[in-house]
Homo-oligomer: A and B are copies of this chain.
Amino acid sequence: MMKFVEKKSSVCVELFKGERLKIVDVEGGQISSFQCVFKNDLKDYLSSGRTLDYLGRMNFEVGDFLYSNKSKPMLILVEDTIGIHDFLLAPCSRESFKILYEDYECLYGCEENLIASLAEFGVKFDSLPTTFNIFMNLEISVKGSLEVLTPASRAGDYVTLEAKDDLIIGFSSCSAPDSHGGKFKRIGYEILS
């Protein structure tokens, strides 16, 4: 049964080895920032640097593994209807809003929301260096410039990730103005065993 991450918030779930988490852009054009740890090693979390190094590319395909900082496989991408995600940038935060937006005040970005959600499961983060930003449409030019475009995802697009070990996972409905294509929306999710 589909549950929801309300707009500008996040949730935390347990996903056991072999279980699958389906994350759905229910209305379209909404980013979900994602971070997780191993249940048996709360300090080892999903790593952008390791994952991109081992993949040898910045785009994602079904069958790709997502690795932890300690080089352990955490998840495998088993379904993906859109294929456009980011694993380069940090999650939005109160401080990032001050730097990137002139007229947007928001006390809780994805970083604050995810840290709070994960803390409910005993997972302590002082900050979140990077997150897997599902549905984020980051354009990288040949000259290396970066631009966050409106997500290409439409209503019903989804990704499904299968756990390679027991995990605690936080994921958001992103609070950044650039992330939602004009309107903050909720994100759907379902755990499939």
Contacts and interface: CB of A to CB of B under 8 A. Distances in A.
A76 to B, nearest CB: 15
A55 B50 CA distance: 22
Nearest to A141: B57
A147 B52 contact: no
Interface residues of A, number: 40
A58 interface: yes
Interface in A119-167: 126-131, 140, 142-147
A191 interface: no
Interface of A: 43-44, 47-50, 52-59, 69-71, 88-91, 93, 95-96, 98-100, 126-131, 140, 142-147
A33 to B, nearest CB: 11
A90 B146 CA distance: 20
A56 B130 CA distance: 15
A49 B146 contact: no
Copies per complex of this chain: 2
A131 B129 CA distance: 11
A110 B154 CA distance: 42
B99 A71 contact: yes
Contact of A48 (B49, B57, B69, B145): B49
B59 A143 contact: yes
Contacts of A50: 90, 96
Given A44-B127, A71-B93, A54 B100 contact: yes
Contacts of A143: 57, 59
A128 B130 CA distance: 12
